[in-house]
Amino acid sequence: MHTERVTIEGVDFETTLHLDGPIGLLALHGAVEGGTAELAREVAARTGTTLLTFTQPTGPPQHIPSIRMSPCTPLTAFLTHATLTISLHGHNRRSAPRTIYVGGSNRPAARVLATALAGSPFTPVTTLSGIPHPLRGLHPDNPVNQTRDGGVQLELPVRARTTHPAPTDPEVPPREVVDGIVAGVRTLMESEGGRW
């Protein structure tokens, strides 16, 4: 596990990188989208996947869009090592408090993860027309799409990423969501010799 401080657009981040299996768990907005970094860490620990989280140790949390997260050393190492990315994000759509939007460029992998999450108390949506445009995660500059096999962007409502919706330390991801993503990752690891 390697920790490094980086600065992107004047914002200081602490990154935590652990290179392991070919699937990579990514949390670009761990300080802003509560529970995403904790969720990524727990899934990675249970599946042996590669992990990269970004948090902001000081100052008010600032959200830099994914497509503007520059290729700092930890992100470059992650994108070079992993072959498929699962990027965890948070959404606050009041009209969809129990909806997990499953975007990203790798649609077969997205369907695998959605199937694994179907048993949770949340509803996964994989049809791109049913995902709000800003949450689809399809831009080529989005890190989720820059590994060899592209990736899956999971946009999670507050209660799907933390059992403490008010600011707390630490955030605790819901067990059903952790179990669902773990099951999906394991299915992806077993499928087609690791190709999706």
Cβ-count burial 95-124 (b if 16+ within 10 Å, e if not): ebeebbbbbbbbbebbebbbbbbeebebeb
* Domain spans in the chain, listed from the N-terminal domain onward: 2-194
pLDDT in tens, 23-41: 999 999 998 998 999 999 9
Q: What pLDDT, on the 0 to 100 scale, is given for residue 196?
A: 55
Q: How many residues does the chain have?
A: 196
Neighbours of 192 (CB within 10 A): 8
- Which stretch of 63-67, 120-124, 160-164, 191-195 has the lowest confidence by average pLDDT? 191-195
**193 or 110, which is more confident:** 110
Predicted TM-score (pTM) of this structure: 0.94
Among the CATH numbers 3.30.465.10, 3.40.630.30, 3.40.630.100, 3.30.70.260, which is that of 2-194?
3.40.630.100
Among 81-95, 109-123, 151-165, whose mean pLDDT is lowest?
151-165
pLDDT digits (tens, 9 = 90+) for 134-169: 999 999 999 999 999 999 999 999 999 988 766 666
Rounded (10°) angle between helices 36-47 and 175-190: 50
Sheet containing 99-103: which strands, arranged edge to edge? Answer: 2-8, 11-18, 49-55, 21-27, 84-90, 151-156, 99-103, 123-125
